[in-house]
Amino acid sequence: MKTRTSLLRTLLLVLLGTMLGTMKVWAAEAYVYVADNDKTTLHFYNDNSRSARSQTGETYDLNTGDNRPIWTNASDYQETIKTVEFHQEITPTTTYMWFAYLKNLTQIKNFYLLNTSQVTKMGMMFYQCSSLESLNFTSDNPKADGPNATNTDHFSTANVTNMYAMFSGCTGLRSLNLSGWWANSLLNTSYMFQGCSNLQIITLGREDIQGYNSGWNTGLASTMEHMFDGCTSLRSIYVGSNFTVAGVFKSTSMFLGCTSLIGGSGTTYNSNHVDKEYAHVDGGTSNPGYFRQENTPSYAVLSTDGTKLTFYCDWTKTLKEGTFYRLGDSEYPGWFDAHETITTGEIDASFQAARPLSPPAPFRGRGRISLWVGRKRELNIRVHPRHISRSGSSPSSVPVCRRSLSSSSEKRPGL
- Residue 288, amino acid: P
The predicted model scores a pTM of: 0.68
Domain assignment of residue 317, given as a range: 298-405
Evaluate whether residue 146 is within a structural domain.
no
Evaluate whether residue 381 is within a structural domain.
yes
Phi/psi region, residue 280 (left: phi>0; alpha: psi -120 to 50; beta: rest), is beta
What is the reported pLDDT for 19? 55
- CA distance to 116, 332, 343, per residue, from 340 (Å): 49, 16, 8
What is the reported pLDDT for 369? 38
What is the reported pLDDT for 172? 96
Are 326 and 308 in contact by the 8 Å Cβ rule? The answer is no
Please tell me the total count of domains within the chain: 1
Q: What is the CA radius of gyration of the chain?
A: 28
Q: How many Å apart are CA 42 and CA 339, to the nearest integer?
A: 52
Q: How many Å apart are CA 111 and CA 152, to the nearest integer?
A: 10
Determine how many CB atoms are found less than 10 A away from the CB of residue 185: 16
- Residue 131, amino acid: S
What is the reported pLDDT for 1? 54
Evaluate whether residue 392 is within a structural domain.
yes
What is the reported pLDDT for 180? 80
Are 62 and 92 in contact by the 8 Å Cβ rule? The answer is yes
Evaluate whether residue 263 is within a structural domain.
no
Q: HEC states along 93-160?
A: CECCCCCCCCCCCCEEECHHHECCCCCCECCCCCCCCCCCCCCCCCCCCCCCCCCCCCCCCCCCCCCC
The list of the chain residues with pLDDT below 50 reads 22-25, 139-152, 208-212, 355-415
Evaluate whether residue 391 is within a structural domain.
yes
What is the reported pLDDT for 394? 34
User: Which residues face 83 on adjacent strands?
Assistant: 41, 107
What is the reported pLDDT for 58? 95
What is the reported pLDDT for 183? 86
Evaluate whether residue 232 is within a structural domain.
no
Are 30 and 44 in contact by the 8 Å Cβ rule? The answer is yes
Helix then strand then coil, in percent of the chain rounded to 5, is: 15, 20, 65
Determine how many CB atoms are found less than 10 A away from the CB of residue 403: 14
Evaluate whether residue 319 is within a structural domain.
yes
Evaluate whether residue 335 is within a structural domain.
yes
